[in-house]
């Protein structure tokens, strides 16, 4: 056994002995530092990170990995999280006002007291998401996968659900077919494209895959 390996094992043993287990979702410390200093970290790994109550207004986190992250009380107003993966993250009391989460993955997320006013969630993967206590004023959910989502008690009068998958969703009534020629249709779906420098631009599929 090399000295380097021995040191690593010893460090892990110390963590376990004092009751701290190594994180299953280990985020990149360098990526977290970049975000905190520049308010930008495109495509970075922040899985399992604790960003609770942080102010990340106008942050650029496109295509970021935020699986299992603690985002409780975080202010993401006008932030760009297009194509990000937030599956399993905690978004209680989180502010997404005016934020872009186009083609993002938020499977089985509970939006307790979450502000989604003017948020772009089009093309998102939001299967089994609970919106029952969220604010969805002028929220764009067009072409999103909302199968089994819960909209109980939510005011959807200004919410765009154009071409969304509502199979098994509760608390929402699908009325007559949409007239695509109508000038009253709001928030028409858009294609999310990768920012310059991340490869050839292409549409991101729901869930953040490219």
Mean of per-residue pLDDT scores for the chain: 80
Q: Is residue 3 part of a domain?
A: no
pLDDT digits (tens, 9 = 90+) for 57-94: 999 999 999 999 999 999 999 999 999 999 999 999 99
pLDDT digits (tens, 9 = 90+) for 15-47: 333 333 334 458 999 999 999 999 999 999 999
What CATH number does residue 164 fall under? 2.160.20.80
Q: Is residue 15 part of a domain?
A: no
Q: Which residues have a Cβ under 8 Å from the Cβ of 162 and sit 6 or more positions away?
A: 142, 143, 178, 185, 187, 188, 189
Domain of residue 84, residue span: 39-174
Q: What is the model's pLDDT at position 112?
A: 86
Q: What is the model's pLDDT at position 174?
A: 57
pLDDT-based confidence at 201, cuts 50/70/90?
A: very low
Number of domains in the chain: 1
Alpha-carbon gap, residue 122 to 190, rounded angstroms: 8
Residue pair 77/97 in contact by the 8 Å Cβ criterion: yes
Q: What is the model's pLDDT at position 25?
A: 56
Q: Across residues 155-184, what is the average pLDDT?
A: 73
Check whether 158 has a pLDDT greater than 90: yes
Q: Is residue 97 part of a domain?
A: yes
Q: Is residue 117 part of a domain?
A: yes
């Amino acid at each position: 056994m090399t000295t380097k390996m021995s040191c690593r094992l010893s460090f892990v043993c110390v963590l376990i002995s004092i009751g701290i287990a190594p994180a299953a979702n280990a985020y990149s410390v360098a990526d977290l530092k970049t975000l905190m200093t520049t308010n930008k970290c495109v495509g970075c790994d922040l899985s399992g990170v604790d960003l609770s109550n942080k102010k990340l207004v106008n942050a650029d986190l496109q295509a970021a990995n935020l699986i299992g992250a603690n985002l409780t009380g975080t202010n993401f107003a006008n932030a760009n999280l297009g194509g990000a993966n937030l599956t399993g993250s905690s978004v209680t009391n989180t502010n997404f006002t005016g934020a872009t989460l186009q083609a993002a993955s938020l499977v089985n997320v509970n939006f307790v007291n979450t502000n989604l006013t003017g948020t772009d969630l089009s093309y998102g993967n939001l299967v089994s998401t609970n919106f029952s206590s969220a604010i969805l004023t002028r929220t764009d959910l067009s072409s999103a996968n909302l199968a089994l989502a819960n909209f109980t008690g939510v005011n959807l009068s200004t919410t765009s659900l154009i071409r969304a998958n509502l199979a098994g969703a509760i608390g929402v009534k699908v009325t007559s077919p949409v007239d695509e020629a109508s000038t009253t249709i709001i928030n028409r779906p858009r294609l999310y494209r990768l920012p310059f420098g991340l490869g050839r631009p292409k549409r991101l599929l729901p869930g953040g895959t490219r």
